[in-house]
Amino acid sequence: MVDKKFTVLDLLSLELHGHDEINLRCIAGRKGLSRQITVPDINRPGLALSGFYESFAYQRVQVFGRGEYAYLNKLDYEGKTDTIKLLFSFAIPCCIFTHNLEPSGTFLQMAEETGCAILVTDLESTELSNRLVRVFSNIFAPRKTMHGVLVEVFGEGILLCGHSGVGKSETALDLVERGHRLVADDIVEIRCVNGNTILGQGANSLISHHMEIRGLGIINVSELYGVGAIREQKEIQLIVELEEWDSNKIYDRIGTNQRTMDLLGVKIPAIEIPVKPGRNLPIIIEAAAMNERLKKMGYNSAKDFNQNVLKWIETGEAQAAYYGQDDIY
């Protein structure tokens, strides 16, 4: 759920663009703009208007399309307003009418009396429903902040983690110089969307594309490298943990054991890269990004190498190469 209260007024105030615009305007019941939206879903109240209020999902935003609008007009014409009064007896967050349809004066008057906001949009019912579900899934998604740098490399969202001073920002800057894109530096806000997708972005949109480079200070990546060097958000598809080289530690040299890290309940592939002078981290991360793409396409280099070695051993050529021809016979 969201960390703070999300109200109908917040829904009206959202700055959405393109295919996420919902174009809402309030025509009645402004006192209800302070009502909270607590459920990230919508409801079509057709059954409720017919008088069946058992299991009525009143906690959801109520969407009225052409069918509900026509039935409301029929009830108003016949003077059957009891079911409408019963509708407003529930603490519903708000009512949204699609196709720029505006309900009758009787309906608006009841909304004013009960303090329920009535909103209107020019979108069709199906399109509004799809957009609202996307908006709610984003707003109500579980989220937290992490210390790290998020970059996009060859289309893969890579989260660079590690202790302070290990070189995350310097590595990210080198990647930007090589044509890749920065999403966020230092503080990354992550959220789980649809239960299986982890999206990352800057915790503060005003400073997310600034980087702190020790010895240089704060730089603005978008101003230095252009808007093509930044991105607002990106799905996290790989985690790269940078750590100081430890000569006593055994690092994975083949890659057959796939490590993962849990982010908000989702397992994300993770690799560990030791850092020491002379290692070209940007090239290693580029190779890791391309290797991850290959895995998604069904090819695993480590497993393929392992299978080839086993085939080589089975043919007997490995014994001949190790022992020599005379030792075998």
Backbone angles phi, psi at 80, to 5 degrees: -95, 85
**Which residues pair with residue 151 across a beta bridge?**
158, 182
- Residue 316 is encoded by which pair of tokens? 């007997």
> CA 216, 166, 159 angle in degrees (round to 5)?
100
**Catalytic residue (one of 143, 186, 191, 231):** 186
147 in catalytic set: yes
**Catalytic residue (one of 35, 60, 143, 168):** 168
Check if the beta carbon of residue 274 is closer than 8 Å to that of residue 251.
yes
The closest of 146, 174, 175, 144 to 161, measured between CA atoms, is 146
**Alpha helices per DSSP H over the chain:** 8-13, 46-49, 66-78, 82-88, 105-114, 125-139, 168-177, 221-225, 281-296, 301-314, 317-323, 325-328
Label residue 53 exposed, middle or buried (CB < 10 Å: 0-12, 13-18, 19+): middle
**Which residues pair with residue 213 across a beta bridge?**
217
- Residue 279 is encoded by which pair of tokens? 């290692």
**Catalytic residue (one of 147, 267, 296, 311):** 147
**Catalytic residue (one of 3, 253, 326, 327):** 253
Rounded to whole angstroms, the Cα distance separating 142 from 309 reads 44
Backbone angles phi, psi at 233, to 5 degrees: -150, 160
168 in catalytic set: yes
The closest of 33, 201, 238 to 117, measured between CA atoms, is 33
Check if the beta carbon of residue 64 is closer than 8 Å to that of residue 97.
yes
Positions marked catalytic: 147, 168, 186, 253
